[in-house]
Amino acid sequence: MRIIPLLTALLVTAFLFLLVIKRESLLGFAGAEAAETEQTGDSSNALATKDTPEKPAVGVIAVHSSAREIDSAVLLRGQTEAAREVVVRAETTGQMISEPLRKGAFVEQGETLCVLDPGSRASNLAEAKARLAEAQARVPETEAQIPRAQAQLEQAKAQLVEARINDNAARKLSKGGFASDTRVAQTEANLRASEAGIKVAEAGVKTAQSGLLGTQAAIQSAEAGVAAAAKEISRLTLRAPFGGILESDTAELGALLQPGAACATVIQLDPVKLVGFVPETQVSRVALGARAGAKLTTGQTLTGNVTFLGRSADPLTRTFRVEVEVPNPDLAVRDGQTTEIIIAAEGSKAHLVPQSALTLNDNGDLGVRLVDADSRALFAPVTLLRDSKEGVWLAGLPEVADVIIIGQEYVIDGVPVAPTFEEPAQ
């Protein structure tokens, strides 16, 4: 066992001797050997490069695909909505005096939903009608004052004519010395009095006319009071604005309703609306009146027509609202169900390939890789029209194209490929 430490010590001593005493010789020997090795390696690499053959083509699986005419429908996901929905609210204060209707009941347009206690409103209406009758009774009296005032005006005009004649005669007789100055002054005074009488008579006519206008205004005010009282009474009965289903119970018997308090919620489900949102890239393919179909999560299918296409995009999603109206006579479709909507659009040519054939280039563009005429890989950008259980329909490819469906992720543009072709999907 003691010989191993002795040999180890001898080896370490010899290594230290060469490293310290014979260092230059050791480094020279090591440099020459490294140079020889490098020269030998370069010769071997050159020989290997010269003898290495060109890389073989990459094996891929492809299909011969031809473009086909398809109905390029727009696919949306949305929900059902009631055609109309309204919360019937009270317009006046009152206590419920009618029995409530329970939710789920069908109501016709104009059917009574809630009836409020009239209170003193009937008395108010009677008072307003009495005021109207009183105002109407004053009409004959005020109308009779107008002819009386007009007659007084005519009389004043006749007196004025007579006063002018007397005044003129007195002045002429006074110039010839046949009338005294006192008579001239008296006739002039009578003329002035007649003129004042004219003004008084005219004022009387205007007063009579004003009285008639006041009476007519009182009548209109009384009629407005009657109408307001009658309207207040009509507000005591709340009716269904359209035929539909009660989505909530009507107000309970004895409940006090204030203006704005809810009486009931009524929804109309026939027809029903299908609401979806189309992205701005496809909004130009949707037209008003276009035929549309839908499938609910329950499996029920519906058909209808596009009745609304929004003109203003949602500021967050940049999508446009689309509404499809669908008949729902049996009320089988409910409000708020999830649905898949397909809207018919103008047809176009597209290729049907497996979804796994899709790939991305270095710029993140969606596309597929093709086999070109020189049997090399070539990336082609595409537009995804829609998907199906057979594959995806793509636009943007040539009329006839060899699409790589397996192995496209292992090649880039220009790489030689050895395609094995399969039958395309039908």
* Residues whose CB falls within 8 Å of the CB of residue 200, separated by 6 or more in sequence, listed in order: 156
Chain length of the chain: 426
For residue 37, what pLDDT band results from cuts at 50, 70 and 90? very low
Tell me which residue of 275, 314, 280 sits closest to 292, measured CA to CA.
275
CA distance 199 to 193: 10
Question: d(Cα 76, Cα 275) in Å, to the nearest integer?
Answer: 9
Residue 145 is predicted with a pLDDT of: 83
247, 103 contact by CB (below 8 A): yes
- Cα separation, 282 vs 210, in Å, equals 71
User: For the whole model, what pTM was predicted?
Assistant: 0.55
- pLDDT value of residue 425: 62
Per-residue CA distances from 208 to 150, 154, 213 (Å)? 9, 15, 9
Only one residue has tokens 């549309």, namely 292
Q: Tens digit of pLDDT for each residue in 325-379?
A: 999 999 899 999 999 999 987 767 889 999 999 999 989 899 999 999 999 999 9
pLDDT band at 16 (very low <50, low <70, confident <90, very high): low
Pick the CATH number of 267-343 from 2.40.30.170, 3.90.105.20, 2.10.10.90, 2.130.10.10: 2.40.30.170
Confidence bin at 249 (pLDDT 50/70/90)? very high
Domain ranges of the chain: 59-72+348-422, 121-234, 267-343
What gap in Å lies between CA 151 and CA 149, rounded to an integer? Answer: 5
> Which contacts of 185-192 are long-range, i.e. CB under 8 A and separated by 24 or more positions?
187/163, 190/163, 190/166, 191/160, 191/163, 191/164, 191/166, 191/167
Q: What is the CA radius of gyration of the chain?
A: 53
pLDDT band at 25 (very low <50, low <70, confident <90, very high): low
Taking the C-alpha atoms of residue 208 and residue 210, their distance in angstroms, rounded to an integer, is 5
Range with lowest mean pLDDT among 192-206, 294-308, 312-326: 192-206
Mean pLDDT of the chain: 85
**Could you tell me the pLDDT band of residue 15, with boundaries at 50, 70 and 90?**
low
- The whole-number average pLDDT for the span 107-136 is 92
Alpha-carbon span 43 to 52, nearest angstrom: 14
- Pick from 238-247, 292-301, 416-425: least confident: 416-425
Fold of 59-72+348-422: 2.40.420
pLDDT at site 367: 94
Q: What average pLDDT score do residues 57-77 get?
A: 86
Mean of pLDDT values over 100-114? 94
For residues 359 and 9, the model is more confident at 359
Cα 208 from Cα 146, distance rounded (Å): 5
Residue 53 has pLDDT above 70, yes or no: no
8-12, 21-25, 68-72: which has the minimum mean pLDDT?
A: 21-25
Percent of the chain with pLDDT over 70: 85
pLDDT of residue 199: 86
Nearest CA-CA partner of 87 in 336, 269, 263, 270? 263
For the chain, helix (H) and strand (E) counts, in that order, are 5, 22
Q: Confirm whether 59-72+348-422 and 267-343 share one CATH topology.
A: no
Q: Is 386 within 8 Å of 393 (Cβ atoms)?
A: yes
Q: Which residues pair with 262 in a beta bridge?
A: 89
Q: Which residue, 319, 302, 277, is CA-closest to 75?
A: 277
What per-residue confidence (pLDDT) applies to 113? 95
Residue 29 has pLDDT above 60, yes or no: no
CB 274 within 8 A of CB 323: yes
